[in-house]
Amino acid sequence: MAENAIGWLSLPLGIATNLMVNGRDVLVPMAIEEPSVVAALSHGARMVRESGGVQATACPPEMIGQIQLLDLADAEAARERVIQAEPELLHIANERQPAMVARGGGARAIEAHVLATSQGVMLIVHLTMNVCDAMGANAVNTAVEALAPVVAGLAGARAGVRVLTNLAVRRLARASCRVALQPLAGHGAAGEDVVMRIIEAHAWAEADPYRAATHNKGIMNGIDAVAIATGNDWRAIEAGAHAYASTPRGSQASGGGYAPLSSWIRADDGGLHGELIMPLAVGTRGASVRAQPLAAVALKIMRIESAVALAEVMAAVGLVQNLAALRALAVEGIQEGHMRLHARQVALAAGAQGPEVDALAKRMVSEGKIREARAIILLKEIRDR
């Protein structure tokens, strides 16, 4: 799949449980090396499940391709000519994608934006395309490359870069949930206290990009793990997520700065209401999914066939992963649970094998010292016994 390959770097593939999305139980395959992410999603999903699980929707799978036009005599007039030619341009784009058009997809719209840059005025043409169940990069890139000379001719301009944008704002997914007070309580904290602390944590993320980055990293822990398990391009999803987090989005963003992708408010019944909105350009067809047999198995485990259904589940995963992280941060702190699970990784790093891994991890947890130097000493003791 990649060039000059000398081997595979494997990741653990785990299954998170308890998640209910739109009334349907979904087992969630997650490929991730970080301990406690799979456990946290399962835990968060159990809390949400008691209030009916997660409701999720996703837009039709429309991607945007961009064409850069330069050396314009009159940018506004060029823009007008390109917009007038929309039917012809859509026809040219669709000619390149007969299979996609036959499945109900294809080019949908042309827009053009005049842009002042450090290198002069440019016209940026946007092609919107329904890519059906693909991630869509190849289809969109093929279409914009075919269109570039035509729009350059119409605009009387020179065509520059043409490629899709990962800021897939027409491919948003939305997940929302309620959490009752009782499942939030624990570690000596009442449910009301936990609600208040989670709302305060969210308010901090809204006001501070340093915290928002980590808040969103927690969301992406779950989303990336599902993306990798299903053979999707997680770099594209990451790029889209963080670009979207930086665009003005009403109440979620204060003045267009980097903002959390989720929001948490007090629900009418005193519990929590959470919502996540973000672009999720994911596919269930395409070479990268088909080239990896386990990716097809992962989709089968989730009983997912369409890109829209996958985006809905991934949005639900991101929201619940965020809830689990905020709940842990607000109550016991993340290190207690995390270090218990991290102990196995430290044991492996110290050279433990087979049953030694759990035995060594248990010794470190009971001592409260989860460090590689200590693990090496304890491993020697276990082996000398």
Binding site for ligand MEV (CB under 6 A): 34, 214-215, 217-218, 221, 325, 329, 334
Is residue 34 flagged as an active site residue? yes
C-alpha closest to that of 361 among 341, 384, 381, 377? 341
**Backbone dihedral region of 317: left (phi > 0), alpha (psi from -120 to 50 degrees) or beta?**
alpha
Got the DSSP string for 168-206? Answer: -TTSEEEEEEEE-HHHH-BTTB-HHHHHHHHHHHHHHHH
Nearer to ligand MEV, 199 or 301 (CB): 199
By beta-carbon proximity to ligand MEV, the closer residue of 214 and 345 is 214
Cβ 375 to ligand MEV shortest distance, Å? 22
Active-site pick, 215, 233, 242, 312? 233
Provide the minimum distance between the beta carbon of 379 and ligand MEV in the complex, in angstroms, as a whole number. 27
SS3 335: helix
Residue nearer to ligand MEV on the CB measure, 334 or 348:
334
Which residue among the candidates 80, 86, 217, 273 is catalytic per the annotation?
217
For 45, list phi and psi in degrees, rounded to 5: -65, -30
Q: CB of 298: closest distance to ligand MEV in angstroms?
A: 21
- Catalytic site includes residue 91: no
Gap between the Cα atoms of 306 and 308, Å rounded = 5
Q: How far is the CB of 243 from ligand MEV (least distance, A)?
A: 20
Residue 193 annotated in active site: no
Contact between 261 and 311 under an 8 Å Cβ cutoff? The reply is no
Query: Of the two residues 169 and 329, which places its CB atom closer to ligand MEV in the complex?
Result: 329
Tell me the residue number closest to ligand MEV, measured at CB: 218
Active site residue 369: no
Give the number of residues written for the chain. 385
d(CA 282, CA 311): 6
**Residues with catalytic function:** 34, 217, 233, 338
